Amino acid sequence: MLRAPMLSGQAHLYRIDELYRDDHMVIVNKPAGVSVHKGWDAAPVNLVKLVRNLMKRRVHPVHRLDRPTSGALVFAFDGETAGMLQDHFREKTIEKRYLALVRGVTEEGGVVDHPIPRKPKGERVDAVTHYRRLAVALDRYSLVEARPETGRLHQIRLHMKHLSHPLICDTRYGDGRENDKFRHEFGLWRLALHAASIRFRHPHTGVPVDIQAPLPDDLRVPLERIGFVAGDYALA
């Protein structure tokens, strides 16, 4: 485990777990609440800066996760590797799987093929998400595994809302009363979405890379309070 150094203006210490590293890339377990890039809000901390300081070298984010989402994120150490990995994403040869807690009891599984905006209020583009229900708690909340086939903005959040199963503690697309309930009864103060695994072939060697990102405590502990156990969110 690597712990990020304090940066000027940083309100608290972010924990950055290193999941994999070689001469070409590093994969980290992004914490919820920190942006990948410098954004419009001019926050003093972003993940690029944190990982660059940890690695003591320049890093290139290969993809992104929404600010409130945690989980596996890949950084390349050079432009060539970044480009090769981004080609893999465009060719859909990289598999990402997410864990999400949603309102209601979902179907056992299915495919959501529903266009969503490319950006807020923008044109709609094709988007496909595969999902399966892993477990149910309190007879009204489902833990699901989501596997996006496309990589659109807020895709999983929008697709689960489309199914009338919004994510818990989603302040943009979720149910405000449910969000308040989870904050005060179960101590869940973040979006219930975690990028739990990523699989691809190494761009230089062709060797399979299969990385699991453990659930952070700020999501794992509330899930356990609700009644889920570790076996419920173990991915195959």
Catalytic site positions: 66
Total residue count of the chain as it appears in this document:
236
What one-letter code names the amino acid at 146? A
Token pair for 61? 């984010």
Asked if residues 204 and 24 have their Cβ atoms less than 8 Å apart, the reply is: yes
Please give the Cα distance from 236 to 224 (Å, whole number): 20
In sequence order, what are the beta bridge partners of 143? 101, 135
Phi, psi of 21 (to 5 degrees): -155, 140
**Mapping DSSP to helix (H, G, I), strand (E, B) and coil, where does residue 196 land?**
strand
Long-range Cβ contact pairs of 6-12 (< 8 A, separation 24 or more): 7/44, 7/45, 7/49, 7/50, 7/53, 8/44, 9/44, 9/45, 10/44, 10/45
